[in-house]
Amino acid sequence: MTTLITRQSTATTDSSPHKRGCLFYAKRGLLMLVVLIVGLPILGAIYQQVAAESDRRAYPAPGQLIDVGGYSLHIHCTGEGSPTVILDAGGGFTSSSWGWVQPEIAQTTRVCTYDRARWGWSDPSPAGYDALQNAAELHQLLANAGITPPYILAGHSLGGLYARVYARQYPDEVAGLVQVDASHPDAWRRLGMREGAGVDPQLLAIGPLAARFGLLRLMDVASPDSELSGQLPEHDERAMRAFFATVRFAESAQQFDAAFPTILEQARMVTSLGNVPLVVLTTGNQDAMSPEENRTLQEMQRELQSLSTDSIYIAVEGANHVSLVHNRDHAQATIDAIRRVVEVVRSGESLAQ
């Protein structure tokens, strides 16, 4: 009897460590899972905060921050002379996108880049983000910065729509226009596309959250595989990529997408700009587009020419929508077009001669 009890006790003692070992590893695995679930977002948030602060120090605003009524907009002017050229970046881009163009135009006359409200180095606007509001803000920005008309407005992509609306709202200030592969307000409808920023709304919805945890920074929308990488001057490219990694960029994209149909409708209301000198600069055939889509795009660019009775149309073969500003070689066509308008404004001659 004593022997049996001893054996049973020994058997029980032998199995206990094994049972405790399984439970121990299960608990440890569960703990590691919790640490990953809770810890990674915390690490991501810290990473984002530290990197964003580093970017702020590395890429300060190159121009001035001008108060326009309780919030500030960024404007950067170089060169001297009249008329003043105002460069309006494409939708989603910042003033840094004019890195090749601005220094060249500054050799001819004064030239200013600016950031629309909430973009680049500019503060958010309390009044919305449509084209009429942007025109009013730009008008106030120029006045408060002491930049007097006449102006030549050069707008790239959606910036062309903003310039078009500004010219209609303040015709006495605008002496000339350059539409750099500017958006046509009916393009989305004619091509059967949603009127928006060109990003899936579900992705836009999670963008701010992803940015807070550093995911936009890790994804790097201007990565080496994108058409943005390696085309702008290095500092300008890095400054814009730094903005693309911020929470403000993700929030701005949401606001931009929501305002998009209104912006297009406001631009549609501008059907004539009189005889203001106008250059419509566009690309040749786009490889990514079908022949039918290319024909439609070219037809719409021709229609933009009808905004003024003193206009010319220039197609740059080999260029694409972004490269007309971001690529050094293709940006030369944009520089030449702006200089041509500066010359006719100074001389009083007709652009179409």
Sequence spans of domains, the chain: 20-58, 64-347
**93-139 pLDDT, tens per residue?**
999 999 999 999 999 999 999 999 999 999 999 887 899 999 999 99
65 or 16: which carries more pLDDT confidence? 65
Residue that has been written with the tokens 């004593």 in this structure? 2
Please report where in the chains the tokens 């229609």 appear, as a residue.
303
Q: Say how many C-beta atoms besides its own lie within 10 A of residue 24's C-beta.
A: 11
Structure tokens belonging to residue 270: 């501008």
Tell me how far apart the alpha carbons of residues 116 and 9 are, in angstroms, rounded to a whole number.
80
Q: Is the pLDDT assigned to residue 32 strictly greater than 80?
A: no
The secondary element (H helix, E strand) that includes residue 113 is strand 111-114
Q: Is the pLDDT of residue 10 over 50?
A: no
Cα–Cα dist 145/287, whole Å = 42
- Cβ pair 138, 159 in contact under 8 A: no
pLDDT value at residue 247: 83
Question: Over the chain, what is the mean pLDDT?
Answer: 85
Structure tokens at 223: 């990565």
Q: What percent of the chain has pLDDT over 70?
A: 79
The pLDDT score that the predictor gives to residue 225 is: 43
* pLDDT for residue 16 is more than 60: no
Q: Is residue 239's pLDDT more than 60?
A: yes
DSSP string, 33-93: HHHHHHHHHHHHHHHHHHHHHHHHHHS--SSEEEESSSSEEEEEEES--SSEEEEEPPTT-
Residue 279 has pLDDT above 70, yes or no: yes
Residue 301 confidence (pLDDT) above 50: yes
User: For 143-148, which contacts have Cβ atoms below 8 Å and span 24 or more sequence positions?
Assistant: 144/66, 144/67, 144/68, 145/64, 145/66, 145/75, 145/77, 147/75, 147/77, 147/84, 147/110, 147/112, 148/84
What pLDDT was estimated at residue 8? 45
- Split at pLDDT 50, 70, 90, the class of 255 is confident
Protein fold of 64-347 = Rossmann fold (3.40.50)
